[in-house]
Amino acid sequence: MADASSAAKLQRWLKGGMSLAQAKGFTTQDIVGIAHLAHMLYLQGKTDSAKIIFEGLEALEPNDAFIQSALGAIYLRDENEAAALRHLNRALELKPNDIYALCNRGELRLRASMFQEATEDLRRAIALDPDGNDPAGMRARALVSAIKEIADMAGRKQLRGKR
C-alpha cells in the first residue's frame, strides 16, 4: 500500500502538477544518466534500443527538450516523418535554440520538398554555430548548400525549357 506522500505525489501527477519521474522519485541525475546511456546506444547505431529507452524517458519526463529532440532524430532516421516532426516541434517549443532539433527538422522539411521552411530552420541552426565547429551546424551548412544546388539546377532546367 502506498504511503500518504506517494499518494499525494501521484495525485499531483494526475493533475499535471509534476512529471511521472518526479512522482516516482527519479532525480534529474537519474534521468540524465539514462538519457546519456540511450544517446550512447544511438551513437553506436543501436537505434532500436535507444528508441525504447527514450520512449520510456518521454513517459517519465515529457517536457524534456533533449528527450524530444532525440526521439525526433531517431524517428527521422527510421523515416517516420510524422513522429519525427511531432517530436522535433515539441523539442523546439521547449528549447527554441536547439541546434540539433533545428537541423533535423530542416532535413525533414527538405525531404518533404518544403524548401523555404527547411532553409529557415537550417539558417537558424547555422546562426547558432557561428564558428562552424558544431556537427549540427556543419550538417546544416551542407544541407543549405544542397538546397542552393537544387534551386540552381531547377533554374537551369527551366531556362533550357524556354529556349
Q: Where are the domains of the chain?
A: 1-62, 88-163
Residue 70 confidence (pLDDT): 97
Q: How far apart are the first and last CA of the chain?
A: 82
Residue 161 confidence (pLDDT): 64
Contact present, 129 and 140 (Cβ < 8 Å): yes
Q: Top-level CATH class of 88-163?
A: mainly alpha
Q: How many residues does the chain have?
A: 163
Q: Residues of the chain whose pLDDT is less than 50?
A: 1
d(CA 138, CA 156): 27
Q: Is 9 left (phi over 0), alpha (psi -120 to 50) or beta?
A: alpha
